[in-house]
Structure 1
Amino acid sequence: MAEERTHGSSVAVASAGAPPTVKSIFIYPIKSCKGISVSKAPLSPTGFVWDRHWVVINSKGRGYTQRVEPKLALVQVELPLEAFSFGWEPNNSSYLVVRAPGMAELKVSLAKPDLRSDGVSVWEWSGSALDEGDEAAKWFTDFLGKPSRLVRFNEESETRPTDPHYATGFNVKFPDAFPYLLISEVPTIDQEDATIGSEPRKTMMKFRSAEALEVNTATTKYKGQPYLGQMLVCEDHKTNKGKIVSVGDIIEVEKVFPSYADVAV
């Protein structure tokens, strides 16, 4: 599947002759805001723990991404270190801390809010979400310069399945499409200053386009886009309690295909 987005719950891979290993892991609690670099990440049925639980929405309930709001790249988020430990549950003093240039610190309680926002949509999905309240809404409204609210995925009443054309029986929260993304780096938006550039996308088009990878462009909606990485699901997602991915883990390749066109999807 083609991938042009700025980031995901990403696992970067390093390989230089030796077996490929996990080089870094990033968790993105708020969709399209800065990620948190972690040395290990517990798995959940919808992906890494705490990944894309929140999204910033506009006045119509549509979720923002860096594609339309590159300033989100400047929003830093922080969770308690223990939040990435198995079995940890937030209490009344547990917060998601949000920071951005020129903005006061925002603290969002990890306790689930009582407010609801209906008509929330992320790509093809729509439903209700937990609303983090007026303080968080004002913070993002002031920062982005347009009416915005911060909402959390309501897993008690909502499900969001992955595209059944590629994988059935899997659910996600607020990522673009799938729980995991295996990549090298993000390509078009500088995560330090939110500027947009043409590289490395322009160069990647020469060897990672649909044409270069021999993908049938007549049947793919990703014609004219580079393939950044590979979106993934975990086959044992329903029984992965206690499982964890750590930096330094060796990645075992079970099968190699001569071209993307030979991969069964």
Structure 2
Amino acid sequence: MATPLVLSDLYIYPVKSLGGIRVTEAVVEPRGLRHDRRWLIVDERNQFMTQRQTAEMALLNVLPAYNGFLLVHTARPELLPLYIPFEATPERTLFVTIWDDMVFAWRGTPEADSWLSEALGRVCKLVYMSDMVMRGTDGGEVAGYVSFADAYPYLLIGQSSLADLNSRLAQPVPMDRFRPSLVFTGGQAYEEDTWRDFVIGDVTFQGVRPCGRCVVTTIDQKTAQKSAEPLRTMATYRTQNNKVMFGQNVTSPARGTLRVGDVVAVQSYLS
């Protein structure tokens, strides 16, 4: 008998490229899970910042606080925690660039800008994507919108895939190296690569294509230290069209609520 497929973990990343929050349930909205990557840090030229260039962003952890606020903290004792709201207000605005997209954004507070600039050692600003912004998914081949995520609203990874990768590594890596939003147990390693239409609980999703991985996978999310792995090992057996693939990019036209423990049902497969 086949092992049942079950949603085992849910993650949101309220501020792009900072620490994620593991949750037991999450609301599905048109551009992704509620609160996921709606905040973005940009540099003095209003260009988006990620761990690719600033690995120290991994050391800024995010937690839900109270009364609609997030708490951002670091191990540096001289920096008291930063509180930011889940949503911004349109009091100050600017245009920011993320990949090939230039989008309208709402500014965070001057206090947040100062705190992040001190924490990261360079001038930066915190901005928010409002519901008015219509940023399309990568390439436009799939209808839908996305937050400040790289290209698609969701990243799906099976625990079997991580287990297979770790069996090839001298030092296993945790799931947080890959920053997924949806994690499931059951099934075969890398079977998520083949999924097209599937349902989690009562929410429908559509697999688009495997996710090309970058140097962020080589950054220890607890220390910000870089190494060659796991990218080097993945390149030996997960390379397609000169990209190293791990996890499946996913979209959803639906609304609803996901809960850890929901059953996953695959309805069709990519050709």
Normalised-by-shorter TM-score class: 0.7 to 0.9
* CA–CA separation in structure 1 for the residues paired with 2:42 and 2:118: 14
2:244 counterpart SS class: coil
Contact 1:201 1:226 in 2 (8 A): yes
Between Structure 1 and Structure 2, which shows a larger proportion of helix residues?
A: 2
Q: Secondary structure at the match of 1:55?
A: strand
Specify every segment of 5 or more residues in structure 1 that has no aligned partner in the other structure, as ranges. Answer: 1-15, 82-92, 211-216, 218-222, 257-262
The alpha-carbon deviation at position 250 of structure 1 amounts to 2.0
Residue 128 of structure 2 corresponds to 152
Deviations 1:163-222 (A, max 9, x none): 244312x01110001100002432321111111121121111122110xxxxxx3xxxxx
The letter for the 2-side match of 1:196 is: K
Equivalenced residues, count: 213
Q: Normalising to structure 1: TM-score of the pair?
A: 0.75
Q: Does 2:42 correspond to 1:60?
A: no
Structure 2 counterpart SS, 1:141: helix
Residue 112 in 1 paired to residue 64 in 2? Answer: no
Say if 1:115 and 1:133, in contact at 8 Å, map to a contact too.
no
Distance 2:64 2:8 in 1: 21
Distance in 2 between residues matched to 1:174 and 1:111, nearest whole Å: 14
Amino acid at match of 2:113: A
Cα RMSD between the aligned structures? 1.9
CA distance 1:244–1:109, shift in 2 (3 Å): closer
Q: Secondary structure at the match of 1:231?
A: strand
Q: 8 Å contact 1:115–1:132 — kept in the other structure?
A: no
Unmatched 5+ stretches in structure 2 = 163-174, 179-216
Give the drift of 1:254.
2.5
Going from structure 1 to structure 2, the CA distance change for 1:234 and 1:110 (only over 3 Å counts) comes to closer
How many Å separate the matches in 2 of 1:194 and 1:66? Answer: 9
8 A Cα contact 2:30 2:253, kept in partner: no
Q: Percent identity?
A: 30
Does structure 2 retain, via aligned residues, the 8 Å contact 1:153–1:174? yes
SS at 2:112's partner residue? helix
Q: Superposed, which structure 2 residues align to 1:81-96 within 5 Å? A: 93-96=67-70
Moved more, 142-151 or 100-109: 100-109
Q: Which of 204, 215, 219 is 1:189 aligned to? A: 219
